[in-house]
Amino acid sequence: MSWEEQKQWADRYLPAIKDIICAVAGEVIEISVSSIEVDQTQATDYIIEIARGDCACRIREEYYWHKHGDFTLRYWIANGRKTEEAKIREGKARWYLYAWTKRGSENELLSWIFVDLDRLRKSGLLESKRRIWYNPGRKTGFHAYTLLELQQNNCIVDMNAEARQRTEKQARWQT
């Protein structure tokens, strides 16, 4: 599929994407008690701060959830363009909504994770040696990260129940 076709396909899930972002809003909004001085001089009892930033989004087909259930970033592309991982390493995007479709549905998602890319950058995972997974035809290559290692490095802000179950299974397999 061309970029335009991929974008059009992913945009079918926009209502679900908006629902998820609204659901995790509480994780990116901080509410603190104002100082006595601010309260008395500015009629402010609470300070609301929003962790600002752009949100990347990737929607994958359900097949990939059942086969791998991992978080992948494009590391290499045959045409030489800058990849998703390179852009993230440079500090682009703050958040990443990564989701898998629900088979038979035009706009429902089976599973999702919401990743804090600042935490991912600080975790060292992007610098770790990884196998490159090539797509058929070897036109692009990806690095894969398990949900468990993202969770263990505090990179996941929130996830749905299916992703939580997958992470628990990965933890059991690890021990």
- The tens place of each residue's pLDDT in the chain, 175 residues long, gives 687 888 888 888 888 888 888 888 877 777 889 899 988 898 899 888 777 788 999 999 888 888 888 999 999 999 999 999 999 999 999 999 999 998 877 788 999 999 999 999 999 999 999 999 999 889 999 999 999 999 999 999 999 998 999 998 888 887 6
Q: Which two tokens stand for residue 111?
A: 């599973």
Contact 146, 170 (CB under 8 A): yes
**What is the dihedral angle through the alpha carbons of 60, 111, 9, 107, rounded to the nearest 10 degrees?**
160
Does this model's pTM top 0.95?
A: no
State the alpha helices, DSSP H only, in 29-105.
Answer: 36-42, 62-67, 84-89
Kindly list the domain boundaries of the chain, sorted by start residue.
Answer: 3-24+53-174
Task: Return the exposure string of 104-128: e unless at least 16 CB atoms fall within 10 Å of the residue's CB, then b.
Answer: eeeeebbbbbbbbbebbbebebbee
d(CA 131, CA 63): 21
